Structures are given as structure tokens and as C-alpha cells.
């Protein structure tokens, strides 16, 4: 093996190690988020806990809508610029300007509608309005940093960011739980503290980037790309694939964070807190699954790119095995719920609410279908089916909204049955896409490409921020 091949093998091993570290950090971030809500539910009265849930849901729907597109596009642009041996300064400046402008617009709109937001969503709590605005701005910086780190392949620092975010948030609900502090305002501060403290990784991010740049420019025999080949950072660039990924992420926010907002409108903040806890039966496994999804996509992409019969068989076997594990986990959760679900929920989230066993089972079954849909979605992305898959997500998201607006059942059962319904429908639609692929130009993923990175980052987003 010559020196060049040896360097490639070493680079591949380093990449695998840091990617594995990110996968572990994603799982840990999900558990930390679960802990934040479990402690808050134990420590706060039902009405105040419900306000925290509503605040959380509003913040993450806003930041997902506004800031994730820039995060995704920045990560892809930096990866492509590195591949062309070009500087990233202009891309970083443009992305930063866009993110800053979006944050300013959102703050202005928030203050313009301050009365309606505070009265109808936050139970007339001005302090929580301040938390909401500050958290949105903090997440603007965090999402920018996430895009920078992912594009630079700084997964070790990315993992540290996720853990600092989760630990910083958890510390505030823990302080209330053990009596160091008290009140809903302290717990709410955790939503701001997470993204703010995560910015502590900035010095390591910059230091690592400078070192990588020096190493890159010192490498002999690397010819810079022609000016016309250099990717530029524009919101219109790569629109089809980027838009498809964004639709998937926004749809997931509708499924996981929309329910509490629908219930809030009908049953108040306490009702929103109750349904959020019920959906945790699905949300906790979904967040943990993001770690699997983030590592599953590169595996499937590499198998797909090989193109031989053995790789195709391994591709399909990987999907079947993952869905089998998901089915087994869902079945186990259902059995546990049937035995002692309501009591276990009260142990986890406190005795403020009485949990209906049937509702918990409905959500648990929905979780199994939803995770299976997530597996099929990764397969569809690896097959170059991004836009067809996005159409499936968008259809189900619209259906979920319409179902909840119609409210054919009581407000809680409507959300529970709606979640099961969209999970089954999404799973069926994505199975059709998976079994009958029709690749479209511009959607294909190559191993290690910027597009694959963008899709991986999307899979990681739910665990890392919402």
C-alpha cells in the first residue's frame, strides 16, 4: 500500500470514528431531552408544564421553518467547496447574513404580534415571551454553527455541541426538581440555555477549521477548481433536493409538535402538556431512531452505488432487518403498556394526569409504523427518490392538519388516532416508493457527497433540536 492509499484508509477510519461519535451523541441528546420533560412534568403543576410544552412546540416549529434551510445549504456548500479546494469565507458570510436577517424579521414579527402570542399561547406570561424570542435568536446561531460543523466534517465538535445543548437544558429542570430553584420561569430558561451554551464549541470549531485549511493548502499536487466549477451559496441552488429534504423535516415537526398546539386551542395548556406526554411514547423512540437513521443512510448509499446483485440483496436485507427490529421494539412497548402503561407514565411524568391505556397503545402502534416509515424514507433517499418521498410526507402532513381541524373525536383521541393514521399512511406510501423506484436527475446520492451529508444532517436534526 502506497502513502496515498494509506492516508485514504486513515482518513476513512477517522471519519468512521467521528461519525460513530455523532451517532452516540444523537442518542444521548434524545435521552437528555426526554429527561428535561420528565423532570419538568414532575416539578410543575399541570397548567405550567403545559405552557412549557406549548413554548417548546412554537419555538421548534419556527426554527425548523426558518433556520434549517440555511443550515442544510451551508453544510452542503462547505462540503462542496472543500471538495473543490476552495475557500469558504464567502459562503459563511452570505449564510450568516441570511440567518441574521431571518432572525431580525422573526423578532420584529414576534413583537408586532406580542399581544396575541402572549395571551393565546403563553397564558399572558411576558417572561415566557422573552424566553421565546431569545431562544429563537439563540437557535439561529446554533443552526448556523451546525451547518458549518457538518459541512467541515467536524463531527466530533458537532457531537459536543449536541451534548452541551442537552445538558444545559436539562440542568434547569433538574434544579427545579431537586429544589435549588422553583417555578416555570426557571424551567423555561433551559430552552434558551441549551443553544446558548452550545456556542461554547465555537473556539474548537474555528481552530479545527484553520488547521484543516492549512493542511489542505499544504497538500502537494492539488489543483484548484476552475472559477466556473466553484459552488456558490444561494438559496436557489440545488433547489429540488434541498426543498424535498426541508419538506420532510417540516412534516415531522407537524406530526410531533403540532398535536399539543391543536389541543392547546381546545383544552388549554394543561391539555397540551397531557398530549405531549402521551406522544412521548412515540417521540422518545423516534428521537433515538435518528441516530440509527443518520448511520443507515450512508450504508444504504454505498450499497446502492455499487450496483451489483449482491449489494442490491444486502440493501434490501438491511431494510428488512431494520424494520424487523423496529417491529420488535414496538411490540415490546405495546406489551409493556398493556401491562402497566398508565402507572409507568405517572412514574415517568408525575401524577398530574391520568393516562388512558387505549390512547397509549394507539400511539405505540403508530410509533412502530412511523419508525418503519423512517427506515423506508432512508431507502428512498438512497435510491434517488427524494422528491417522491417528500410528496408522501407533505400529503400526510396536510392530512394530519385537516383531521385535527375537523376533530371528529374528542380532542385528545383525535390527535392519537391521527398520529396512528398518518404513520400507517406514510409507511404505505413510502413502501410503494421504495418498491418502485423512479430515480430523478438531481436526487441521486453518491457516497460521501454533499447531498448525502445534507440528508444525514436532516436525519440527525430531530434528535439535535426538537
The DSSP call for residue 233 is -
> What does the block give as the cell for 395?
400529503
Q: What is the three-class DSSP state of 387?
A: helix
Angle at which helix 411-435 crosses helix 357-382, to 10 degrees, equals 30
- The answer to whether the Cα torsion of 408, 413, 419, 423 is positive or negative is negative
| Residue 51 sits in the same domain as residue 106 | yes
> What does the block give as the cell for 234?
444561494
| Residue 232 sits in the same domain as residue 324 | no
Q: What is the three-class DSSP state of 447?
A: coil
Q: What is the three-class DSSP state of 47?
A: helix
Other CB atoms within a 10 A radius of the CB of residue 15 amount to 14
Query: What is the C-alpha to C-alpha distance for residues 328 and 368, in angstroms, rounded to an integer?
Result: 9
> Contact, 351 vs 328, CB < 8 A?
no
Give residue 369's pLDDT: 94
* C-alpha separations of 299 from 83, 128, 241, 310 in Å: 21, 43, 20, 14
> What does the block give as the cell for 24?
452516540
Q: Which of 218, 237, 256 is the last residue before a domain boundary?
A: 237
| Residue 404 sits in the same domain as residue 447 | yes
| Residue 100 sits in the same domain as residue 232 | yes
> What does the block give as the cell for 364?
405505540
The set of residues, in sequence order, having a beta carbon less than 8 Å from that of 342 and lying 6+ positions away, is 354, 355, 356, 357, 360
Burial of 265 (0-12, 13-18, 19+ CB in 10 A): middle
| Residue 126 sits in the same domain as residue 271 | no
Could you please report the per-residue DSSP string of 166-223?
A: HHHHHHHHHHHHTTSS-SHHHHHHHHHHHHHHHGGGHHHHHHHHHHHHHHHHHSTT-P
| Residue 196 sits in the same domain as residue 266 | no
Locate cell 474555528: which residue?
206
| Residue 246 sits in the same domain as residue 178 | no
Give residue 290's pLDDT: 67
| Residue 366 sits in the same domain as residue 404 | yes
> What does the block give as the cell for 210?
484553520
> What does the block give as the cell for 370?
412511523
Q: What is the three-class DSSP state of 407?
A: coil
> Contact, 300 vs 378, CB < 8 A?
yes
Along the 466 residues of the chain, how does pLDDT read in single tens digits?
454 444 444 444 444 455 556 667 777 777 888 888 889 888 888 888 889 988 998 888 888 778 877 777 777 777 777 666 777 778 788 888 888 888 899 999 999 999 888 988 888 888 999 999 999 999 998 888 888 887 777 777 888 888 888 899 999 999 998 888 888 899 999 999 988 988 887 776 666 555 455 444 444 444 444 444 555 555 555 556 667 777 888 888 888 888 888 998 888 888 888 888 888 888 777 777 766 666 666 667 776 666 667 777 888 888 888 889 889 988 998 999 999 888 888 888 877 778 889 999 999 999 999 999 988 988 888 777 888 888 999 999 999 999 999 999 999 999 999 999 999 999 999 999 988 877 665 555 555 555 555 555 555 555 444 5
| Residue 246 sits in the same domain as residue 232 | no
Give residue 393's pLDDT: 93
Burial of 320 (0-12, 13-18, 19+ CB in 10 A): exposed
| Residue 375 sits in the same domain as residue 400 | yes
Q: Which of 179, 207, 237 is the last residue before a domain boundary?
A: 237
The set of residues, in sequence order, having a beta carbon less than 8 Å from that of 161 and lying 6+ positions away, is 142, 145, 146, 149, 198, 201
Query: What is the C-alpha to C-alpha distance for residues 147 and 450, in angstroms, rounded to an integer?
Result: 12
Please report, to the nearest 10 degrees, the dihedral formed by the alpha carbons of residues 105, 242, 258, 404 taken in order.
120
> What does the block give as the cell for 191?
430552552
Give residue 38's pLDDT: 87
> Contact, 337 vs 357, CB < 8 A?
yes
* C-alpha separations of 210 from 207, 213, 216, 405 in Å: 5, 5, 10, 52
Query: What is the C-alpha to C-alpha distance for residues 453 and 154, in angstroms, rounded to an integer?
Result: 12
> Contact, 91 vs 147, CB < 8 A?
no
Give residue 19's pLDDT: 53
Q: Which domain holds residue 26?
A: 1-237
If one counts the domains in the chain, the total is: 2
Q: Which of 199, 222, 237 is the last residue before a domain boundary?
A: 237
| Residue 221 sits in the same domain as residue 282 | no
> Contact, 419 vs 282, CB < 8 A?
yes
Give residue 190's pLDDT: 92
> Contact, 81 vs 225, CB < 8 A?
no
| Residue 208 sits in the same domain as residue 312 | no
Amino acid at each position: 500500500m502506497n502513502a496515498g492509499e494509506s492516508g485514504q484508509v486513515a482518513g476513512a477510519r477517522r471519519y468512521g470514528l467521528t461519525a460513530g461519535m455523532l451517532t452516540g451523541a444523537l442518542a444521548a441528546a434524545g435521552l437528555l431531552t426526554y429527561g428535561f420533560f420528565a423532570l419538568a412534568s414532575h416539578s410543575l403543576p399541570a397548567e405550567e408544564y403545559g405552557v412549557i410544552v406549548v413554548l417548546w412546540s412554537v419555538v421548534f416549529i419556527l426554527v425548523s421553518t426558518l433556520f434549517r434551510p440555511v443550515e442544510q445549504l451551508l453544510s452542503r456548500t462547505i462540503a462542496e467547496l472543500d471538495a473543490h479546494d476552495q475557500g469558504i469565507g464567502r459562503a459563511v458570510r452570505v449564510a450568516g447574513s441570511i440567518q441574521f436577517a431571518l432572525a431580525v424579521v422573526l423578532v420584529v414579527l414576534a413583537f408586532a404580534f406580542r399581544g396575541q402570542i402572549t395571551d393565546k399561547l403563553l397564558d399572558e406570561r411576558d417572561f415566557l415571551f422573552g424566553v421565546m424570542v431569545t431562544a429563537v435568536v439563540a437557535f439561529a446561531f446554533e443552526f448556523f454553527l451546525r451547518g458549518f460543523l457538518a459541512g467541515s466534517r467536524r463531527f466530533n465538535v458537532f457531537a459536543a455541541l449536541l451534548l452541551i445543548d442537552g445538558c444545559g437544558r436539562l440542568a434547569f429542570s433538574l434544579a427545579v426538581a431537586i429544589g435549588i430553584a422553583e417555578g416555570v420561569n426557571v424551567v423555561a430558561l433551559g430552552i434558551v440555555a441549551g443553544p446558548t451554551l452550545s456556542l461554547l464549541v465555537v473556539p474548537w470549531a474555528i481552530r479545527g477549521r484553520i488547521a484543516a485549511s492549512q493542511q489542505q493548502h499544504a497538500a502537494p499536487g492539488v489543483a484548484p477548481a476552475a472559477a466556473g466549477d466553484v459552488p456558490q451559496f444561494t438559496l436557489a441552488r440545488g433547489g429540488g433536493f434541498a426543498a424535498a429534504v426541508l419538506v420532510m423535516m417540516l412534516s415531522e415537526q407537524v406530526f410531533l409538535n403540532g398535536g399539543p398546539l391543536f389541543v392547546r386551542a381546545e383544552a388549554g395548556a394543561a391539555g397540551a402538556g397531557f398530549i405531549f406526554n402521551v406522544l412521548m411514547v412515540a417521540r422518545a423512540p423516534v428521537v433515538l431512531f435518528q441516530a440509527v437513521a443518520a448511520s443507515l443512510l450512508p450504508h444504504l448509499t454505498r450499497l446502492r452505488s455499487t450496483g451489483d446483485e449482491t449489494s442490491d440483496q444486502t440493501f434490501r436485507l438491511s431494510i428488512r432487518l431494520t424494520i424487523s427490529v423496529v417491529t420488535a421494539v414496538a411490540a415490546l412497548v405495546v406489551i409493556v403498556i398493556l401491562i402497566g402503561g398508565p402507572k409507568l407514565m405517572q412514574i415517568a411524568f408525575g401524577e398530574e394526569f391520568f393516562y388512558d391505556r387505549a390512547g397509549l397503545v394507539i400511539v405505540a402502534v403508530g410509533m412502530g409504523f412511523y419508525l418503519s416509515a423512517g427506515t423506508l424514507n432512508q431507502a428512498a433517499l438512497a435510491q434517488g427518490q427524494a422528491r417522491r418521498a417528500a410528496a408522501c410526507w407533505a400529503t400526510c402532513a396536510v392530512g394530519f392538519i385537516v383531521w385535527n381541524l375537523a376533530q371528529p373525536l374528542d380532542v385528545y383521541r383525535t390527535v392519537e388516532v391521527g398520529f396512528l393514521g398518518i404513520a400507517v399512511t406514510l409507511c404505505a406510501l413510502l413502501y410503494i416508493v421504495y418498491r418502485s423506484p423512479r430515480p430523478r436527475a438531481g436526487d441521486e446520492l453518491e457516497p460521501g457527497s454533499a447531498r448525502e451529508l445534507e440528508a444525514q444532517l436532516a436525519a440527525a436534526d430531530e434528535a439535535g433540536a426538537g
